[in-house]
């Protein structure tokens, strides 16, 4: 199965992904029961990033009913790491989705018997020193690849010639999405004769964690639907008819703006968001850029359960089917020509022949 062709269905079989840590199946020998805690800022029902991580836990629990999961929602970003510290004695494993958990290094070092799965960030100690620990598995993704595919899809679909990406906060993962999207639009213009430009509104420009002005269109939060709608309406007002949305729950506001407009498509993010695009008898979702977190979360929980867990910093992309896009019939509205070109682009990403721009090589706005 190729992720670009199938909706990233969450099954135990997904654990056969070659991620450098031995694959396991439901037939594996019984392991040690574990209690899992997932902590999020916007809940496990955001329909996107957090929910996909949670679904990975549920798939594991389904195969191992002797294990259990607890979810904790802490909407104050400043309280996320203190919440981990307060809860560390109560659970065996913590699944921590988001860049705000980067600073858990001291907690992890002080609790070597606990396991930590950090999604979208590596970790540091309290002084900002990078750490790689035996009890911590961090998974970061090449979001620029998903953004690239979204950019190609947008450029091949737009009728107005204006497209845009809407992000939540300018964390590295979101900057990757932004720069990848712009790279994809440029690729479609240069190689497929598309006529498209990326629209960026100065009033919504982002400043990344390193103090760089990265432009783009940022809502400033992952939970502010009202602001998401403001940004969406502003871009639609500028003539954009395809919007790639990587803004968590704030993206719901962008969806609303698109539903209230005519002829505007949205590209979903992280998971297949087609169901969120229903608008009367129609649907606003063009396709969704995928970041396959669930199967990677499931795999590492299996490894913990079976005693084969190894801490490491994993960077996941198309070469492990961990990025992609939705092309399954009935879950997208791409033309056959666009799908053929996107499949071609996916293979370029997978082989490394195409390397989209990312936060790592950001050289400033041009």
Provide the CATH number for the domain around residue 219: 3.40.50.2300
Domain range for 196 is 143-291+324-351
Residue 356 covered by a domain:
no
Q: Which two tokens stand for residue 162?
A: 């204006």
pLDDT above 50 (res 240): yes
20 touches 296 (CB < 8 A) = no
Cβ neighbours of residue 351 under 8 Å, at least 6 residues apart?
none
| Residue the block writes with tokens 């209230």 | 260
Average pLDDT for residues 89-101, to the nearest whole number?
Answer: 96
Lowest mean per-residue pLDDT among 79-88, 89-98, 307-316, 350-359: 350-359
3: left (phi over 0), alpha (psi -120 to 50) or beta: alpha
Average pLDDT for residues 357-362, to the nearest whole number?
Answer: 73
3-class DSSP state of 112: coil
| Residue the block writes with tokens 């981990």 | 84
- Looking at the fold, whether 277 and 156 belong to one and the same domain comes out as yes
Residue 164: phi and psi, rounded to 5, are -155, 160
Look at the chain and report how many structural domains it folds into: 2
321 touches 17 (CB < 8 A) = yes
- Looking at the fold, whether 207 and 81 belong to one and the same domain comes out as no
- Looking at the fold, whether 211 and 245 belong to one and the same domain comes out as yes
Taking the C-alpha atoms of residue 30 and residue 66, their distance in angstroms, rounded to an integer, is 10
Give the DSSP letter of residue 103. Answer: T
283 touches 258 (CB < 8 A) = no
Q: 324: buried, middle or exposed (CB in 10 Å: 19+, 13-18, 0-12)?
A: buried
Angle at 172 between CA 167 and CA 173, to 5 degrees: 60
Q: Which two tokens stand for residue 190?
A: 């240069």
3-class DSSP state of 121: coil
Residue 101 covered by a domain:
yes
**pLDDT grade, residue 362 (50/70/90)?**
low
pTM of the model: 0.84
pLDDT above 50 (res 20): no
Residue 88 covered by a domain:
yes
> What's the pLDDT score for residue 360?
74
- Looking at the fold, whether 88 and 191 belong to one and the same domain comes out as no
Residue 360 covered by a domain:
no
- Looking at the fold, whether 42 and 171 belong to one and the same domain comes out as no
Q: Which two tokens stand for residue 153?
A: 């899809």
Measured CA distances, 306 to 22, 27, 239, 247 (Å): 11, 11, 54, 35
Measured CA distances, 85 to 39, 72, 257, 315 (Å): 11, 13, 39, 26
Which of 97, 93, 67, 90 is closest to 291 using CA atoms? Answer: 97
Q: Which two tokens stand for residue 229?
A: 């709608």
Q: What is the DSSP code string of 280-297? A: TTEE-EEEEEEE--HHHH
pLDDT above 60 (res 10): no
- Looking at the fold, whether 253 and 284 belong to one and the same domain comes out as yes
Angle between helices 143-157 and 336-351 (to 10 degrees): 150
Residue 37 covered by a domain:
yes
Which of 152, 100, 175 is closest to 360 using CA atoms? Answer: 175
> What's the pLDDT score for residue 64?
97
- Looking at the fold, whether 90 and 220 belong to one and the same domain comes out as no
pLDDT above 60 (res 11): no
Residues 292-333: tens digit of each pLDDT: 999 999 999 999 999 999 999 999 999 999 999 999 999 999
Q: How many CB atoms lie within 10 A of CB 290?
A: 28
Taking the C-alpha atoms of residue 278 and residue 271, their distance in angstroms, rounded to an integer, is 16
Taking the C-alpha atoms of residue 136 and residue 140, their distance in angstroms, rounded to an integer, is 13
- Looking at the fold, whether 81 and 172 belong to one and the same domain comes out as no
Residue 63: phi and psi, rounded to 5, are -85, -20
- Looking at the fold, whether 344 and 206 belong to one and the same domain comes out as yes
Taking the C-alpha atoms of residue 353 and residue 345, their distance in angstroms, rounded to an integer, is 9
Residues 216-231: tens digit of each pLDDT: 999 999 989 999 999 9
- Looking at the fold, whether 125 and 75 belong to one and the same domain comes out as yes
Residues 30-66: tens digit of each pLDDT: 789 999 999 999 899 888 889 999 999 999 999 999 9
Residue 3 covered by a domain:
no
**pLDDT grade, residue 358 (50/70/90)?**
confident
pLDDT above 50 (res 24): no
3-class DSSP state of 114: coil
- Looking at the fold, whether 46 and 116 belong to one and the same domain comes out as yes
Residue 157 covered by a domain:
yes
Residues 245-301: tens digit of each pLDDT: 999 889 999 999 999 999 999 999 999 999 999 999 999 999 999 999 999 999 999
- Looking at the fold, whether 255 and 245 belong to one and the same domain comes out as yes
Taking the C-alpha atoms of residue 264 and residue 271, their distance in angstroms, rounded to an integer, is 20
Residue 363 covered by a domain:
no
């Amino acid at each position: 199965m190729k992720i670009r062709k199938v909706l990233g269905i969450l099954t135990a079989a997904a654990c056969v992904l070659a991620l450098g840590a031995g694959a396991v199946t439901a037939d594996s020998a019984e392991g040690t029961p574990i209690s899992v805690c997932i902590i999020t800022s916007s809940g496990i029902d955001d329909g996107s990033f957090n929910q996909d991580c949670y679904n990975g836990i549920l798939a594991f629990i389904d195969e191992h009913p002797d294990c259990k999961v607890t979810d904790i929602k802490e909407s104050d970003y400043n309280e996320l790491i203190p919440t981990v510290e307060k809860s560390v004695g109560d659970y065996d494993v913590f699944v921590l989705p988001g860049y705000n958990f980067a600073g858990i290094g001291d907690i992890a070092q002080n609790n070597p018997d606990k396991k930590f799965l950090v999604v979208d960030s590596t970790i540091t100690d309290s002084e900002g020193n990078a750490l790689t620990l035996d009890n911590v598995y961090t998974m970061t993704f090449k979001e620029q690849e998903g953004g690239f595919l979204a950019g190609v899809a947008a450029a091949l679909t737009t009728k107005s010639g204006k497209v845009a990406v809407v992000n939540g906060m300018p964390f590295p993962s979101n900057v990757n999405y932004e720069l990848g999207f712009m790279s994809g639009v440029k690729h479609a213009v240069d190689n497929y004769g598309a006529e498209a430009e990326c629209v960026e509104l100065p009033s919504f420009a982002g400043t990344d964690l390193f103090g760089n002005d990265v432009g783009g269109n940022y809502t400033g939060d992952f939970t502010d639907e009202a602001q998401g709608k403001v940004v969406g309406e502003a871009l639609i007002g500028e003539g954009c008819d395809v919007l790639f949305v990587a803004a968590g729950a704030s993206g719901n506001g962008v969806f609303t703006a698109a539903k209230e407009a005519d002829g505007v498509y949205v590209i979903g993010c992280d998971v297949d968001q087609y169901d969120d695009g229903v608008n009367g008898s129609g649907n606003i979702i063009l396709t969704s850029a995928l970041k396959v977190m669930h199967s990677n979360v499931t795999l590492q929980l299996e490894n913990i359960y079976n005693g084969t867990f190894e801490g490491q910093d994993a960077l996941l992309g198309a070469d492990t089917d961990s990025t992609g896009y939705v092309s399954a019939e009935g879950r997208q509205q791409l033309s056959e020509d666009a799908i053929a070109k996107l499949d071609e682009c996916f293979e370029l990403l997978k082989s490394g022949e195409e390397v989209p721009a990312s936060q790592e090589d950001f050289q400033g706005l041009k």
